[in-house]
Structures are given as structure tokens and as C-alpha cells.
Structure 1
Amino acid sequence: MIIRIDFKSETPIYLQLSNQIIENIANGNLTPGEEVPSIRRLAADLGINMHTVNKAYSLLKQKGLLTMHNSRGIVATGSHIAEDEKKMSSVKKALRPIIAESICYGFTNIQLKEIIDELYKDIKGGKVDE
């Protein structure tokens, strides 16, 4: 799992961390069932506060992407079932303000689709699903 924190970014560190863990699940660097580092270990490795890592992990647990196991620790649970209405609703809710902002900047529907296709391909390591 690759995590890089930009301490100069305006994006809060816990969001950077949670977004990068999501991307690691999406691109296969972190597979469902795979253990993620403990809160203490990840905080030490990244040089950040344990509460920050805990906040990121809590957010990912709420989204159903991480699960706590007594015997195995914290594991990724990312599912690839897009038909789940709750997940679909969550993604739409997150995309809505981004799309609205893009429209304000003058992006067309075609341009937005091209951006999404480009980012999808980049995250998946050049692989495109149909």
C-alpha cells in the first residue's frame, strides 16, 4: 500500500489518507481481506498523529471499506458490487458538487466523461473494465 501525505495541502491529512487508501483498494494494491497497518504503526510510518489515522480509518469503516477483526486487526473490505444502492447513492452524493463545480468552470458533459475515463484508467493501472 502506497501512501503519500502532502503536509502543505489544504486537504486535511485524514482525508488525504482515507482517499489514498480508497485508491489503493480501487487499483488492487490493497485487496479485500488484506490487513492494513495498525493505527499506531501507520501514524509512526507517516509521522502523523494517531488520532488522524483513527479518524481516517473511522471514515472508511463508515463507508464499509474497512472492518475490524479481533483476530486479524483492520482489514480492507472493498466490494466490487456496484449494484448496491447505498454505495451508488454515496458515490452520486460525492460526485454531485464536483460535477456542479466543473459545470461552473465551463466543462462540457463530453469533457467530464473524458476526465472520468482518464482517471479511472489511471487508478486501475491502465486497465479499463466494461
Structure 2
Amino acid sequence: MYIEIEPASAVPIYLQLAQQVIEGVASGKLSPGAPLPSVRAFAADLGMNMHTVNKAYHYLEEKKMIEIVPKKGVFIHPEGIREATKEERERLLQELRPILAEAICRKLSKEELAELTGKLIEEIKEGTK
């Protein structure tokens, strides 16, 4: 899986890394149970600080996207792809709210938003950008 970090982005580097791992799972490029590099190896491969990768891994672990097994490694969580819990649905709604509010301010219609969302879902599933 190819990871592309944009240092000038307003999105923190650890979050960019975590989001790309999540997208890898969503696209099927990373399947449940697939191993990920150790923190040290991933940091070296990406040319970044180990603490940044560690922070991304802990973020992903909190979301049950990965599991860290001591002395064995880091793996895509077996339940990385599953039905969202009530709490996860609520969190996702709260995270979408400001994005949708901005879209309304930019006069995007429901139809345009549905079209954009559909296009993004297809791009993610196909693994394209």
C-alpha cells in the first residue's frame, strides 16, 4: 500500500497516516488480519518520527481498525470491517456535521452532496484518487 504524506497539510501527519490505513481497509487493499510494519519499520520506511507512527497506531487501535499484539506485531483488526455500533454512528454523524454545514454554506444541494459522496465511495472502493 502506498502512503502519501503532505507535510504542508493542515491535517496532522499522524492523522494522515491513520486515514490512509483506514482507506486501505475500506478499499480492500488491507484485509482483516493483514500485518502492518512495526512502528520502527514504518517510521523508517516513511522517513518520519517513530512517535508519529505510534500516535497513528494508537488512534487506529482506539477505533478498532488495528490490533497491536505484544511480541507478535500489528495487524488489521479482525473486526476492522463490521457494522457500526450506535456510538460509532453518533461519532460519525458529529464528524460529518461541520463538513455538511460548510457544504450548505457553499450552496451545495442535497443532490450534489449525494453525487459527491457516491463518487468518493466508488473511488475508495476502487482504490483510486
TM-score normalized by the length of structure 2: 0.90
Per the alignment, residue 27 of structure 2 pairs with 27
Per the alignment, residue 94 of structure 1 pairs with 95
Structure of higher RCO (CA pairs closer than 8 Å, 6+ residues apart) = 2
Per the alignment, residue 10 of structure 2 pairs with 10
1:4 alignment partner, SS class:
coil
Alignment of 1:1-130 (within 5 A): 1-77=1-77, 78-125=79-126
Do the aligned residues in 2 keep the contact of 1:35 with 1:72 (CA within 8 Å)? no
Q: How well do the aligned residues superpose, as a CA RMSD in angstroms?
A: 1.5
2-structure distance, mates of 1:83, 1:6: 29
Q: Give ranges in structure 2 of 5+ residues lacking alignment.
A: none
2-structure distance, mates of 1:116, 1:21: 20
* TM-superposed deviation, 1:87: 2.4
Do the aligned residues in 2 keep the contact of 1:2 with 1:24 (CA within 8 Å)? no
Q: Deviations over 1:65-123 (max 9, x none)?
A: 11111353111115332352222222212211111111111111111111110000000
Q: Deviations over 1:29-83 (max 9, x none)?
A: 1111111111101111111100001111111111111111135311111533235
Do the aligned residues in 2 keep the contact of 1:82 with 1:88 (CA within 8 Å)? no
The size of the alignment, in residue pairs, is 126
1-structure distance, mates of 2:15, 2:95: 13
1-structure distance, mates of 2:35, 2:74: 6
TM-score normalized by the length of structure 1: 0.89
1:42 alignment partner, SS class:
helix
